[in-house]
Amino acid sequence: MHATEADAGQRLDNYLLRILKGVPKTRIYRALRKGEVRIDGKRVRPEHRLEAGQEIRIPPITVSVREETPMPSDSLRDLLRDRVLFEDDHLLIVDKPSGLAVHGGSGLKLGLIEAMRRLRPEELRLELVHRLDRATSGCLVLAKRPAALKGMHQQLRDGRIRKTYLALIRGRMPQARMDVDAALERRTTRTGKRQVEVDEEEGKDSRSSFKELQTFGQLATLAEVDIETGRTHQIRVHAQHIGHEVAGDLRYGDLRFNRELRRFGLRRLFLHARSLAFTHPASGEAMRVDAPLDAELRGVINALEGGPAEGQR
């Protein structure tokens, strides 16, 4: 088969997951790892982005009857409906709640993208533009059309989408702004857990900027974080690297700090994708979409302000 104009810009793994309905995800990725899937006769990686006209060779694969994605619960339906930040014929931007994965997998049948597809069956080509960690809340972009997906992915590759986060970090930074340029490498531990580490030799270029917004004595700082790159767990690992771990981080965080923050009502990772600035892929209009802090995170800030907090800079 050949990739069409509508397929252009889509990741190969996402394309295969879409057309090979009923095939387990593990079987598709095994075929990719073994080189059984070829583009124009060549082996390619799962993240390869299709171009119109490319020949896609797929090996014979037995398709089983796939269990239908469950319908989202009434509470999840209502939650997602109330968290739409922007929508037109090309894009759908939602305020992803903490605790909801962006897609299913590893025993999880229903992520945000599956839930939105079930709730909006008329949107036949709804796709994730980017991802957020399961514990992270905030702005998440979905594309309704292949052209919109391709345009947004091009902006991501060119670094033309500004992503700004809010993070509560341990202690007080030595200066009001800290720029972190530390390459990151993703590894898998013996137990199969995905772990990201600073590795200047083998890691990928990764840059983050932490700006102090508000301090709470010497306990914690509310920081605005801009990322120039979008590596897995980037903010969390960079915060750990500079000695100011993100509050509520169970993987890269500080256990004593996390216990202390529980006294102020924190029960989750305090990392929130506050805003996105980009160019609309269809109209060319400059866009900015904001997601306010949810009630839980606002409550933590209010509780901290009742303690020995210092003012804003």
Q: Residue 185: beta bridge partners?
A: 197
**Residue pair 169/239 in contact by the 8 Å Cβ criterion:** yes
Q: Cα(89)–Cα(281) distance, rounded to whole angstroms?
A: 11
Token pair 């309704």 is found at 144
What residues contact 221, with CB distance under 8 A and at least 6 apart? 168, 169, 170, 171, 172, 173, 212, 213, 214, 215, 244
Of 281, 280, 298, the closest CA to residue 289 belongs to 280
**Residue pair 161/311 in contact by the 8 Å Cβ criterion:** no
Q: Cα(27)–Cα(33) distance, rounded to whole angstroms?
A: 10
Token pair recorded at residue 121:
């069956």
- To the query of whether residue 199 is one of the catalytic residues in this protein, the response is no
Q: Which of 7, 133, 249, 254 is catalytic?
A: 133
Q: Cα(137)–Cα(291) distance, rounded to whole angstroms?
A: 9
Q: Cα(246)–Cα(13) distance, rounded to whole angstroms?
A: 32
- Give the DSSP per-residue string, 69-112: PPPPPHHHHHHHHHTEEEE-SSEEEEEEPTT--SS-BTTB---H
Question: Which residues are known catalytic residues?
Answer: 133
